Structure 1
Amino acid sequence: MKHFCFLLFFSVSLINAQKIDKNLFGNYEYQSKNKNFSADLKKDIFDNIIYTDNNNNEIIFEKKYVSKFIPGLFKNEGYSIQFFRTQIRTFANDNNYKQKFEIDILGKEIISDNRNNTSEAKTDIFGNYQYVDRYNNESTSISQDLHGNWNFKRGNQTASLEKNFNSTYTYKDSVNNILEINSAAFQKLKNKLGGEKEVFFFLIYHFLD
């Protein structure tokens, strides 16, 4: 394990030390010192952002997805270089991996790859969030019901977050955790984390995962 961590640290350090160049077309290029690994981050004529490397990896971020989630790409150079470095670290030791990030015509956010993994997120006609993830033949779902309560399921694991009539919230999960949160405390969590969905993710991470 220590040997693996050292190699990972060494690899990341080398990537950070290398210069990332910008070509005449405004796209980013990287090549390792020994020239064994090279990668590119480019914007195509449709404003999609595409990462490729000589390990035959290709990651496509379609225009609508970029605009919603990573709008700084190819607008802020520091942000773009850091993003490129993250992709290099992620995929430098992988081969033949293809992944696409997109938003379809109905607004559904879709991430899919060539290894039969997918995730889909959308807001239904009632404004409730729905998410399904399929990874390594295991399915995870997170959803809101018509009352705005949150539900999580992954294999035998389940969790819920419900708003009560007295404006308190109750978190429950399949390992018998029960947590009552008063309105003021819940509002503080929302302000800190960003919203109800993020609070639910936070509780799942700390109590169930």
Structure 2
Amino acid sequence: MKNYLLLLLLIVLNHQVEAQRIEYDIFNNLEYESKEKDYSAYLKKDVFDNIIFSDSNGNELTFHEDYLEQEYENLVGDKEQEMDFFRYLIYRYRFESGYKASFDINISNEVIIEDNRNNRIEFGTDIFGYPTYEEKRNETEISIKRDVSGNLEYISGKEQAFLKKDIFGKWNYSDSSGNEFEFGKPAWRMLKKTYVSEEKILLFLLKNFLH
């Protein structure tokens, strides 16, 4: 999953973060100070080639080397991309306080994001190449995954939803709120054209019917 969303935000960010106030220090790390001098931020590389974002609000985000290589290809060493990444982090966390998070890759090549607010996100692919997603927010666990038949299931606490393909090749949606839909081939082709993957179709259905 490549993080190209930065490109969509840069036009806005360039107007909100004064580019002339971001510069490299003598150690080749990035630093920023607001015009009012009431906020400062830093983007530094440690001895393990991890990148650490920190600021005067007590926020600290650690992006491990493996995560950067997988999710932000060619970021390290490209000064323009590093600058854009730094601008995004300033924009995203300037009004946060005391937030700490780690972005890493585990031995199964899954992305692991954990923070100091008892949140954890884990996503990757299963042995069949299907995307998997698991999330924990406080005491609620959320997961989207495939069963052995390739059907999709969503679980969030007591909420559940399923996107299944029957023996006739038709896809069906059902959830714990009592919604049930069967998609004919024309309707399914339209959904696939719009959302591309079954996972994104499921997210669309969840947003509009379960939540």
Aligned to 1:82: 84
Q: Give secondary structure in 1 for the equivalent of 2:174.
A: strand
Q: Deviation digits for residues 104-157 of structure 1, max 9, x if unmatched?
A: 112122111122211222433344444321112221121110001011111232
- More divergent stretch after superposition (64-73 vs 74-83): 74-83
Aligned to 1:28: 30
- More divergent stretch after superposition (163-172 vs 98-107): 163-172
Q: Give secondary structure in 2 for the equivalent of 1:198.
A: helix
- More divergent stretch after superposition (143-152 vs 64-73): 64-73
Where does the alignment leave 5 or more consecutive residues of structure 2 unmatched?
1-12
Q: Deviation digits for residues 171-208 of structure 1, max 9, x if unmatched?
A: 12222322333445445544543422222222222322
Aligned to 1:206: 208
Q: Give secondary structure in 1 for the equivalent of 2:17.
A: helix
Aligned to 1:148: 150
Task: Report if aligned partners of 2:120, 2:135 keep a CA contact under 8 Å in 1.
Answer: yes
Q: Quick check: 1:162 aligned with 2:164?
A: yes
Matched residues in 1 for 2:23 and 2:185: separation?
A: 51
Amino acid at match of 1:67: E
Aligned to 2:122: 120
For 1:109, which of 94, 108, 111 is the aligned residue?
111
For 2:137, which of 110, 135, 144 is the aligned residue?
135
Matched residues in 2 for 1:100 and 1:70: separation?
A: 15
Task: Report if aligned partners of 2:166, 2:172 keep a CA contact under 8 Å in 1.
Answer: yes
Task: Report if aligned partners of 1:128, 1:146 keep a CA contact under 8 Å in 2.
Answer: no
Aligned to 1:58: 60
Structure with more contact order per residue of length (Cα contacts < 8 Å, sep ≥ 6): 2
Compared with structure 1, are the counterparts of its residues 80 and 204 closer, same or farther at alpha carbon in structure 2 (3 Å cutoff)?
A: farther
Matched residues in 1 for 2:182 and 2:46: separation?
A: 50
Compared with structure 1, are the counterparts of its residues 77 and 177 closer, same or farther at alpha carbon in structure 2 (3 Å cutoff)?
A: farther
Amino acid at match of 2:116: N
Compared with structure 1, are the counterparts of its residues 92 and 188 closer, same or farther at alpha carbon in structure 2 (3 Å cutoff)?
A: same
The alignment-based identity, stated in percent, is 36
Matched residues in 2 for 1:54 and 1:124: separation?
A: 40
| Aligned positions, number | 198
Aligned to 1:9: none
Q: Deviation digits for residues 74-124 of structure 1, max 9, x if unmatched?
A: 455444333322222322222222100111112122111122211222433
Q: Give secondary structure in 2 for the equivalent of 1:151.
A: strand
TM-score (norm 1): 0.80
- More divergent stretch after superposition (71-80 vs 195-204): 71-80
Matched residues in 1 for 2:174 and 2:112: separation?
A: 29
Aligned to 1:16: 17
Compared with structure 1, are the counterparts of its residues 75 and 160 closer, same or farther at alpha carbon in structure 2 (3 Å cutoff)?
A: farther
Aligned to 1:6: none
Compared with structure 1, are the counterparts of its residues 47 and 159 closer, same or farther at alpha carbon in structure 2 (3 Å cutoff)?
A: same
